[in-house]
Amino acid sequence: MARRSGSILNRLLSNPNPSSPFTLPTRSITYMPRPGDGAPRTVTLIPGDGIGPLVTGAVEQVMEAMHAPVHFERYEVLGHMRKVPEEVIESVKRNKVCLKGGLATPVGGGVSSLNMQLRKELDIFASLVNCINVPGLATRHENVDIVVIRENTEGEYAGLEHEVFPGVVESLKVITKFCSERIARYAFEYAYLNNRKKVTAVHKANIMKLADGLFLESCREVAKSYPGITYNEIIVDNCCMQLVAKPEQFDVMVTPNLYGNLVANTAAGIAGGTGVMPGGNVGAEHAIFEQGASAGNVGNDKIVEQKKANPVALLLSSAMMLRHLRFPTFADRLETAVKQVIQEGKFRTKDLGGDCTTQEVVDAVIKALE
């Protein structure tokens, strides 16, 4: 047997055509799981409002088609509820991971944001949105690959507002050293682990000298621990102008809460649209994966009625989730299939220049997985 193997090896190594270079077949280094890594994981599922049930349903179909080791624990949560049900919080605490559709937040009066309730209750302090050009999707700018990392628990989103007297409302922006250092450390750690070269802090410290000044001070202190990563700073209004003019100059961006929402949605629009940008939110113990950019994550009645919501963003977010769960091969298969469908261009929803239904896109992705 050993002699036969050696003979096969000799034939493989021999070059029948000396005039052309011979290259051995290549294989990527294998993923070596730890014992038990293949056990199915339970994930809390919140379909949410608007297009949420359509796009989360798309994920469920694709996961089932690829036999991914994921089981969903579904809960009905809607944006008009006064608070997130306690059993949902307990489910996320137990499972550690959640996949959710968009939750509508009333404009002006009404209930507080359930998204903020989830982030605060579970201390999910970092939001990450990957704004990157998708092959086959034409955009004004090329070579866009921006990761926006946003502080998720304080700032203007703290919800500390009150009416001083009729006609005068005071809204408090809270910035703490603890949260600023924590998000800065996460941004630099992300850059280090993902071979990113630059971290840019976005601020308005020329006006909010104490609040944003504290944020910048924290970023500068953390940057000293990462001498191999370039650190710079940019005022948020200049940042927005630079994004639409020359987005390829940015790599990793770290921001306070409000600026991060604006920057992430702007970068997503530049890179191809919010319908294709994945994202997630993470803390020390828990993670929630959802469409990366918040614009359009609930959709409108017409899209829901026609069942033409774009599932790509949440499918790619699900690939991020699979990597988080240590299922890298399943993540790679899903991401490759989704990008193949986009590149072929036959099955696209209206926001990407097509007219397909959600189900038609899902069916194409499942076929690409085969």
**3-class SS of residue 282:** strand
Residue of 304, 303, 297 lying closest to 279 (CA atoms): 297
| pLDDT score of 26 | 55
> For 197-255, how does the pLDDT look when each residue is reduced to its tens digit (9 = 90+)?
999 999 999 999 999 999 999 999 999 999 999 999 999 999 999 999 999 999 999 99
| Residue 13 parent element (H or E) | helix 2-13
Q: What single string gives the DSSP state of each residue in 210-276?
A: THHHHHHHHHHHHHTT-TTSEEEEEEHHHHHHHHHH-GGG--EEEE-HHHHHHHHHHHHHHHT-GGG
| pLDDT score of 110 | 60
> For 314-339, how does the pLDDT look when each residue is reduced to its tens digit (9 = 90+)?
999 999 999 999 999 999 999 999 99
Residue 327 to residues 15, 18, 69, 368, Cα–Cα distance (Å): 38, 42, 8, 19
Q: Provide the greatest CA pair distance for the chain.
A: 93
Phi first, then psi, for residue 217 (nearest 5°) are: -55, -40
Half-sphere exposure of 127 (CA within 13 A, CB side): 29
Q: Which of 25-39, 96-110, 256-270 has the lowest mean pLDDT?
A: 25-39
Residue 129 near residue 267 (C-beta atoms within 8 A): yes
Higher pLDDT, 18 or 235: 235
For residue 4, pLDDT over 90 is answered with no
The architecture that CATH gives domain 40-125+276-369 is 3-Layer(aba) Sandwich (3.40)
Residue at token pair 């280090």: 192
Confidence class for position 13, pLDDT limits 50, 70, 90: very low
Q: Could you tell me the residue ranges of all domains in the chain?
A: 40-125+276-369, 140-271
**CB neighbour burial string for 42-60, b if at least 16 within 10 angstroms, e if fewer:** ebbbbbbbbbbebbbbbbb
| pLDDT score of 18 | 45
pTM higher than 0.85, yes or no? yes
What's the chain's Rg over C-alpha atoms?
23
Question: Where in 35-165 does DSSP place strands (E)?
Answer: 41-46, 70-74, 97-100, 126-132, 145-151, 161-165
Task: Please determine whether the domains at 40-125+276-369 and 140-271 fall in the same fold group of CATH.
Answer: yes
Residue 44 near residue 294 (C-beta atoms within 8 A): no
Residue of 209, 324, 200, 222 lying closest to 267 (CA atoms): 200
Q: What's the rounded Cα separation, in Å, for the pair 194 and 191?
A: 5
Q: Which of 22-26, 77-81, 104-108, 351-355 has the lowest mean pLDDT?
A: 22-26
| pLDDT score of 2 | 41
Confidence class for position 109, pLDDT limits 50, 70, 90: low
When pLDDT is averaged across residues 18-32 and rounded to a whole number, the result is 58
What topology does CATH give the domain 140-271?
A: Isopropylmalate Dehydrogenase (3.40.718)
